[in-house]
């Protein structure tokens, strides 16, 4: 009995050390993002807000990457998540979250669930996140991981996000985390007047331009460009 108790204590101490190590690595990543943002940000346009930084400090990226990548979880770079896909670079996640300028009552659509990390970052900030993933194995894994982590305000589904998610539209904001050749018209339709969409647009397997679209109250769309990014392609039948 004594041996068993000792063993349990040892295992729980190891788990705690693990969690504390990841928390320290996450804090260091956020510190690095602050420095990075000072360097690349246009102060008037894309300073990463405290709220977004707080979300980056909270979400456990290491719980959403494959075990083989876990030790790199808090490096500011994309990581492979299997099936030829990636979890995005933390700075790009923060920037895209910042650009859509969400608040507590918002309902947001994400196209490209991948690991579920971007959805979790958004879930800390908004009322509800709907997220669509086209690869079944990733959709299943992300759903399970997000449930295990206790996110009750994220709804995921397997499908082609090009067409959006009509039943839950219109959305206050839309975030597309795969590179499209053009802005999908169904997504523009499903954006609320006054809403924002961020999407990388350009050629497959090249760099793309990060676009921010704002739909005015009159339904006009104003587009701004936010530099070069590199995303995996938006796939599907369209």
Among 155, 207, 209, 235, binds ligand SAM (CB under 6 A): 235
Q: Is 178 in the site for ligand SAM (CB under 6 A)?
A: yes
Q: Determine if 190 is a binding residue for ligand SAM (CB under 6 A).
A: no
HEC per residue, the chain: CHHHHHHHHHHHHHHHHHHHHHHHHHHHHHHHHHHHHHHHCCCCCCCCCHHHHHHHHHCCHHHCCCHHHHHHCCCCCCEEEECCEEECCHHHHHHHHHHHCCCCCCEEEEECCCCCHHHHHHHCCCCEEEEEECCHHHHHHHHHHHHHCCCCCEEEEECCHHHCCHHHCCEEEEEECCEECCCCHHHHHCEEEEEEEEEEECCCCCCEEEEEEEECCCCCEEEEEEEEECCCECCCCC
The least CB distance from residue 178 to ligand SAM, in Å, is: 4
Q: State yes or no: residue 112 binds ligand SAM (CB under 6 A).
A: yes
Indicate the residue among 107 and 177 with the shorter CB distance to ligand SAM: 177
Stretch that binds ligand SAM, among 19-27, 85-93, 148-156, 206-214 (CB under 6 A): 85-93
To ligand SAM, the closest distance from the beta carbon of 142 in angstroms equals: 8
What is the binding site for ligand SAM (CB under 6 A)?
Answer: 85-88, 111-112, 114-115, 117-118, 132-135, 138, 160-162, 177-178, 231-232, 234-236
């Amino acid at each position: 009995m004594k041996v068993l108790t000792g063993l349990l204590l040892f295992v729980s101490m190891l788990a705690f050390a693990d969690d504390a190590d990841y928390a320290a690595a996450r804090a260091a990543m956020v510190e690095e993002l602050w420095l990075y943002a000072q360097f690349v940000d246009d102060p008037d346009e894309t300073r990463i807000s405290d709220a977004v930084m707080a979300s980056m400090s909270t979400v456990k990226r290491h719980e959403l990457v494959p075990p083989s990548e876990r030790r790199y979880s808090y490096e500011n770079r994309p990581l492979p998540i299997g099936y030829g896909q990636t979890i995005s670079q933390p700075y790009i996640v923060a920037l895209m979250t910042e650009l859509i300028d969400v608040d507590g009552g918002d309902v947001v659509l994400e196209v490209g669930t991948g690991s579920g990390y971007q959805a979790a970052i958004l879930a800390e900030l908004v009322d509800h996140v709907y997220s669509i993933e086209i690869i079944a194995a990733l959709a299943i894994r992300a759903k399970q991981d997000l449930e295990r982590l206790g996110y009750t305000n994220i709804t995921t589904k397997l499908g082609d996000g090009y067409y959006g998610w009509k039943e839950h539209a219109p959305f206050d904001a839309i975030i597309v985390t795969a590179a499209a050749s053009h802005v999908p018209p169904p997504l523009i339709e499903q954006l609320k007047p006054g809403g924002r969409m961020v999407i990388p647009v350009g050629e497959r397997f090249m760099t793309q331009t990060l676009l921010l679209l704002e739909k005015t109250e009159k339904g006009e769309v104003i587009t701004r460009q936010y530099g070069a990014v590199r995303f995996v392609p938006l796939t599907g039948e369209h």
